[in-house]
Amino acid sequence: MSNNSENKFFINPKSALIVGLIILSLGIFAVIHDKTSNTIYEDLTATIVDIDKRLVSDGPNDNHYEYTVYVDYAVYGERYEHVEYGAYDSKMKVGDKVTVYYDVSDPSIINAPGFENVPYIFIAVGTVITFIGVYLQNKKKKEDLTPGDDSFFDEQNSPENQYTEE
């Protein structure tokens, strides 16, 4: 294979295939885990009681704020206070009502809405990346066999590959 055909691809076909299969596998594992776990979530309305704003520095010119939202809620008369919500929207303010999903067996464990589709997003993205990897790998194989490269003709016309009748 010549260096010329190696540089034609923006994405390494084998890497795309491996990354796609990993993401796809994670999505499938998450769906199976979700469907087979005994965890049951119920929804309820909670009240935002605090929004923690923290300056984070990821380098000399990369400063940004991270927000952590805390809520209060009650399940069967038992109050849970200052529990991390897990999601933030710039429109949120203290006193707002939000929906949370709590674990019936342990109501101190909550999830914000919207995360239930993440495994399916992983499956979709993993499938697309895997197909791209397969497509690029097949395209690469075809280009390696295409007689547009001098090395192909050199191999075909070399003396040891010539058929001679005796």
The model carries a pTM of: 0.55
User: Residue 71 to residues 2, 80, 81, 92, 98: CA-CA distances in angstroms?
Assistant: 61, 8, 7, 12, 9
Write out the chain's pLDDT in tens, 166 residues.
444 444 455 778 888 889 999 999 999 998 887 777 667 788 899 999 999 999 988 878 888 899 999 999 999 999 999 999 988 989 999 999 999 989 898 999 888 877 677 888 999 999 999 999 898 888 877 777 765 555 545 555 555 655 555 5
Give dist(CA 35, CA 166) in Å, integer.
Answer: 72
pLDDT at 24: 93
Q: How far apart are CA 45 and CA 74, in angstroms?
A: 9
Structure tokens at 76: 């069967």
